[in-house]
Structure 1
Amino acid sequence: MIYFDNKQFDTEIKYDVYLLKKYLTEHYDEDTAIALLKNNSSDIDKLAEALGEIDVEFFCLYFMSDTFVPKGVNDDGSYPEDHTPNVARTLSRGHYELWDIANEIFIEDKRDKAAIIEPRGYAKTTIFDMAVSVYLHCYKKSLFTLLGAKTDTDATQFLDSIKKVFNENKKIIKNFGKLIDIKATKVNGERYTVNANEVEFTNGTYIRTVGSGTSVRGANWGGIRPTVFIGDDFQDEKNILTDAAREKQYSKWTKEVEEVGDKAVYRNGKKIKAATKIIAIGTVLHIDCLMSKLARNNDYYTVLRRAIILEPGQTVEDIFEYGETIEGEYKPGLWLQCHDIYFDEKLNEDERKEKARQFYEDHKEEMQFETWWPEKWDCFNDLAIKYWENRAAFMSELMNDASSIGEKWFKSVATRAKEEIENHTFTKTMLSIDPASTTNKKSDFTAMAVGSKATNDFTYIRDLLMKKLGYEQYCKKAVEILERNLDVTHINIERNTFQGADVVRIKELITESPILKGKKYEWINEMQKKNKDEKISTVVDPMNNGQIIICSDCEDSKEAVKQILEFQGQLYTPHDDMIDCISELENKIKTIKVTTTVKILDRKNFGL
């Protein structure tokens, strides 16, 4: 059974005829469509081939229906005779809009440059990389296509999907011939080149792949320069970490990619050759990443879509964090109530998710919001949970919004009284220290935190210190914290400041302490080389969701929480000591292996 346009077709031929009539009518009129179908009834594929040349959308739906059109078993459960069931989803209107843009670029020659910015998982590669490339080479619309990706491996994977279509799609092979044929020879007797990075098609066209780290200067094939360049996810995380890296990637694009092909050729005021088409496909990773800059470049036609369709003036926060005050009493919105269930520390992880999911199902009609691909994105599992668990990634990858850079990262910090915290059962405990070397006005604070993982998998900061301390003061304070927290088993101290000298001194002071003397600890004293913002970003969502809870009774608790709430990224924040210390603790404590003592029971006690 084939599902299209809210109709069902039990055979491929019925679907093909319906599709042909629909698109012929759109291009001409219904009478012409019927006449053409009658005149070509003996071989409608040839009619489809002609129509496909002037309509990318029709080409994809007709010749690549296995990829884009849902197909299943017959209503009686039997297996269809002329088509194979697949797992394709019904396309959204956004996908059809992408094919409209492809028509404007490659058929109507209205545009030379485009930036296609879509949410992660929106099938943008399938729609505008794989399918468009197949179209271009079936009809020889591009003599030399250069496919770019962030790595060589990604680029070759894109090419593999294209080769698969040409090698396995029976409709394409029947109508356009065997365009990939490693046994065929060219006029000069040479074999066609077919390997992981390039394909010479038997119709005289060519595709090559390239990673973003490889230069494309002077790229040509037999004297032909690229006629189409498609850069699909041409940027990587490493390309956005610094201003210099971001500028380098954009400069490479403007100086190399945009100059890789030819300009349009005009004769007597008439265009006789189109310019090389430059297409960038991707997702926003940073406010100044390659895709963001191309979106602001007026030379590019830009499509920027977000997973959630927002109303004018509406934000994602309006959906997930909505609350209202009724008769002086604040009432959280349904999504906020659902969030609180999902992160309820009194429930175990499975119970939290199940109860939150049930709450969503009970209020689904009221909680539903509009998305660009309802066939794929479930509001609870695919969007709400991703927002709660990793807001930064959600805003970037699904909402294509990096505008929050420079804003405060932490919206809330959960605190509890020490008495309440100590009622939990803890599985492992660590002291983490981020020392500072000076004590002047602009100096960093020395930050210490004792954190424990509880049986509910939450992290509790049971003790902390945040002060400007001299070297000897700092070492003594570390010992005092250990004397107050005898269940600490691991001590993590950043090595960058004192190069391990502080570890030696603290160990000496431990041997002098009547409480700690003879106690053994596991010491972690490593240089911190990881990007600080990247490290702190790993605790943003656990902190905002109340999965990291700070004791409110410590002397420095109030100032520590205030410092955390002020954090906006290291470029915009004067002090990040406590959140850096906690992020280091949270990442390290996960690696601690808990050893359980096994007690051997006497068989005699069981009467054996």
Structure 2
Amino acid sequence: MIYYYDDLEFEQERQFDLYVLRKYLAKYYGLDKALALIRTNAKNIDGLAKALGKKDIGFFCLYFLRELFVPSSENTSRALSKVHYDVFEELNKMFITEKDSRHKEEFILPRGTGKSTIVNTSVACYSHCYGISTYTVVVAKTEDLQHQFIAEVRKCLEFKKVRECFGNLINTKKRVVNKEELELDNDTKVQSFTWNGQIRGTKYNSKRPNIIICDDILKMDDILNDNAKEKCVTKYYTEILPAGDKARVLNGVKQGIDTKFIVIGTPLASDDFINTIREDSSFEVFHRSVCEFDVDDYFTKNKYWQKYREILFNNKNKDRLKDAENYYYKYIDKMKFPTLWEGKYIPFELANDYFTKRLAFMQELMCDCQNVGDIWITYQDKISPKELNEIRFEKTVLTIDQGASKTSRSDFTAFTVLGKSNGFYYVREGKLKKFDSKTEFDLYITEIVNLLKAWKDITHVFLEKNVYKGIDATRLEERIREDRELRSRRIKVETPYSTQNKEQRISTITDKINSGQIKFNELNEEYNKQVFSYRGEKFTPHDDGIDSLEMAVNNIDQIQTRTILHIGSFNDLYR
């Protein structure tokens, strides 16, 4: 057998043993002491390696799990990349150097990096070989992945070096060994559950898990709507986290470790479970993308990649894929770019994914936590209040998209004062606020009244019916009748109904935004930012602003009103 490591070839196993042992001993003790240790322990190299393995998870994997982590003439493994060694260092902090202070970490990594193997398998094998964990639980997305994890850990624990140094840990005659559980002969246990399973209260030998890993548990069903997203988050915080425990302290001495929580995955939506954990300050976050640069900017501005795209999309050419590849290799010096794992990710293959399936590329390979959806808005034309104040508006309307509560994750109530002049639409005022629908209904109505008084040429108010079911329209009409100033303006309050879904409706105004036909008040920064960040219904945490804007644009042309010269509103609002 030949081992391939550090661009070297090792034809004898002992050569590889000594090379990797010297490399990692030198990491901790310097080269001279490393060589001295090897000489002193020449008759017990595996014993020295066992002691070093407890100190470094990366070394443990390379030495004891080499069949999995080191390329050889008898396996299909690739050489590890820098990102994998970075992951090992994170795990070292969690289980060795900072074990008493680092208890939670999330790993956000691209598809294809072997994240389940590099984290799950290495942690399970390391912690159970050394007895660091009595009970480890891994939560998988599906039953197949659940079984696959247990099978891989079992295979690794039966590797030759593991058996030679740690004994025969697998005992099918006396221990529970099946597709879901792996009870080892050192009185420890590895178990896997599916996400839909129940881990609350799970124990082994009366002990709660020392390690709980959630491995890529999200499915598309988990991001279909806000309820699905919230259900996922709630399950983790109310069921998974409480399944852990603190280490016991006896006579001031800590026995064992606090439960370690690891989350692995890629984001499917900007406010999904993965991104919620990412924002949790109690978690460390290790986040890498397949390319560490702005891919949108790079691919759209590089003339060689634009030519490549032209070849790729030439449907009249049946050999377009091969021709595009040939073009890449012809100009490789102009087109090659660094990737997270050079031996795995090929630039032209990544480009194919980007150009043909950008959404999946951003989700699965860039692990983009903010821009995973398609780009809808590419340009916003913003003008000053002074410029707006000089325009003669033909029509002005107020539209409101309501939110139901005031929590950090809840929707906003979006107000859009839209004027139209000479074929252009002007967001004269775009505003986002939060009201609790049960306790702050009157505040919400008062906010509308104040806007009507500030913008004296508003003739129509359009309200969504989702939250208040038209009750707010009735109450607003009452307030208008009760107000001497407002009742004289004959303001119409309407609750329009649309048969189109949200994305269909919003798609009717995106060209108007991108072309500059819709212009925005430069002072409304929060509103403008929310509109600009729209990435589609599934991938936008808050789309209230663009919802309100769409309602305004698509209703203002339907009304008939006299032209009114707007004077003074900006002086009142921005003085």
TM-score by length of 2: 0.65
Aligned residue among 295, 299, 307 for 1:320: 299
How far the C-alpha of 1:175 sits from its partner, in A, is 1.1
- Distance in structure 1 (CA, Å) of the matches to 2:511 and 2:194: 45
State the SS of the aligned residue for 1:256.
helix
Change (3 A) 1:347 1:533: farther
Gaps of 5+ in 2: 380-398, 400-499, 516-533, 552-575
Contact 1:152 1:209 in 2 (8 A): no
Deviations 1:407-466 (A, max 9, x none): 644989xxxxxxxxxxxxxxxxxxxxxxxxxxxxx9xxxxxxxxxxxxxxxxxxxxxxxx
Distance 2:297 2:43 in 1: 58
Letter of the 1:123 partner, please give it.
G
How far apart are 1:50 and its partner, in Å?
1.2
Structure 2 residue corresponding to 1:388, chosen from 344, 348, 355: 355
The answer (yes or no) to whether the contact 2:47–2:165 under 8 Å persists in 1 is: yes
Deviation at 1:309, TM superposition (A): 1.8
Structure 1 distance, partners of 2:207, 2:357, is: 46
More contact order relative to length (CA 8 Å, sep ≥ 6): 2
Deviations 1:57-101 (A, max 9, x none): 1110101112111223xxxxxxxxxxxx22211111110011111
Q: Which residue does the alignment assign to 1:347?
A: 317
Q: Aligned equivalents of 1:533 and 1:15: distance in 2?
A: 60
Q: Name the CA shift for 1:71/1:570 in 2 (closer, same or farther; >3 Å).
A: closer
Over 3 Å counting, the alpha-carbon distance change for 1:175 and 1:372 in structure 2 is same
> Matched residues in 2 for 1:171 and 1:267: separation?
35
Match for residue 347 of structure 2 among 371, 379, 392 = 379
Deviation by residue 1:544-571 (Cα, 9 ceiling, x = unmatched): xxxxxxxxxxxxxx98995998995358
Counterpart position of 2:24: 23
In the other structure, the counterpart of 1:81 is none
| 2:39 corresponding residue in structure 1 | 38
Query: Contact 2:359 / 2:373 at 8 angstroms: preserved in 1?
Result: no
- 1:66 aligned counterpart, secondary structure: helix
1:221 maps to: 204
Listed one character per residue, the Cα deviations across residues 468-502 of structure 1 (whole Å, up to 9, x for unaligned) are: xxxxxxxxxxxxxxxxxxxxxxxxxxxxxxxxxxx
Counterpart for residue 491 of structure 1: none
User: What is the correspondence of 1:91-490 to structure 2 with a 5 Å cutoff?
Assistant: 91-108=80-97, 109=99, 110-167=101-158, 169-183=159-173, 191-266=174-249, 271-310=254-293, 315-322=294-301, 333-348=303-318, 351-381=319-349, 383-404=350-371, 408-409=375-376
Residues 137 and 533 (structure 1), Cα distance of their counterparts in 2 relative to 1, 3 Å cut = farther
How many Å apart are 1:345 and its aligned residue? 3.0
Q: CA shift at 1:32, angstroms? A: 2.6
Q: Quick one: which amino acid aligns to residue 2 of structure 1?
A: Y
- Find the aligned partners of 2:83 and 2:373 in 1 and give their Cα distance: 31
SS at match of 1:49: helix
Taking the aligned partners of 2:535 and 2:285, their CA distance within structure 1 comes to 30
What is the rounded CA distance, in whole Å, between the counterparts of 2:154 and 2:171 in structure 1? 11
User: Given the superposition, is the C-alpha separation of residues 363 and 112 from structure 1 closer, same or farther in structure 2, using an over 3 Å criterion?
Assistant: same
Query: What residue in structure 2 maps to residue 63 of structure 1?
Result: 64
Aligned to 2:52: 51
After superposition, what is the alpha-carbon deviation per residue over 1:167-186, rounded to whole angstroms, capped at 9, x for unaligned? Answer: 3x111111111101112xxx
| 1:239 to partner: Cα distance | 0.9
Shift, 1:264, TM fit: 4.0
| RMSD of equivalent CA atoms | 2.8
Going from structure 1 to structure 2, the CA distance change for 1:298 and 1:172 (only over 3 Å counts) comes to: same
8 A Cα contact 2:359 2:374, kept in partner: no
How many percent of aligned residue pairs carry the same amino acid? 35
Give the TM-score taking structure 1 as reference length: 0.62
Aligned residues: 401
Change (3 A) 1:242 1:19: same
Any gaps of 5 or more consecutive residues in structure 1? 73-84, 184-190, 324-332, 413-441, 443-530, 537-557, 577-608
| Equivalent position amino acid for 1:358 in 2 | N
Match for 1:103: what amino acid?
Answer: N
For 2:46 and 2:361, locate their aligned partners in 1 and report how far apart those are by CA, in whole Å: 44
Mapping of residues 457-536 of structure 1, within 5 Å: none
CA drift at 1:268: 7.1
Alpha-carbon distance, 1:51 to partner: 1.0
C-alpha distance in 2 between matches for 1:275 and 1:371? 36
Instruction: Supply the AA of the counterpart residue of 1:166.
Output: L
Q: 1:285 to 1:360 in 2, by over 3 A?
A: same
Residue aligned with 1:287, SS: coil
CA distance, structure 1, for counterparts of residue 223 and residue 25 of structure 2: 46
The answer to whether the 8 Å contact 2:107/2:265 transfers is yes
Query: Which residue is 2:8 aligned to?
Result: 7
8 Å contact kept, 1:144–1:226: yes
Aligned counterpart, 2:469? none
Distance 1:173 1:149 in 2: 27
Task: Report if aligned partners of 1:408, 1:565 keep a CA contact under 8 Å in 2.
Answer: no
2:3/2:11 contact within 8 Å kept: yes
The 3 A distance-change label for structure 1 pair 376 and 532 is: farther
CA distance in 1, matches of 2:189, 2:291: 38
4+ residue segments displaced more than 6 Å: 531-534, 558-561, 563-567, 573-576
Change (3 A) 1:199 1:347: same
Contact 1:263 1:275 in 2 (8 A): yes
- Say if 1:225 and 1:260, in contact at 8 Å, map to a contact too: yes
Whether the aligned pair in 1 keeps the contact of 2:81 and 2:340 (CA below 8 Å) is yes
Residues 55, 242 of structure 1: alpha-carbon distance in 2 compared, 3 angstrom cutoff = same
Alpha-carbon distance in structure 1 between the residues aligned to 2:269 and 2:48 = 46
Q: Which amino acid aligns with 1:121?
A: G
Cα deviation 1:20-66 (Å, max 9, x = unaligned):
11111222233332222222222311111111111111110101112
8 Å CA contact retained: 2:376, 2:510: no
Kept in 2: contact 1:117–1:305 (CA 8 A): yes
Query: Distance in 2 between the 1:199 and 1:215 partners?
Result: 18
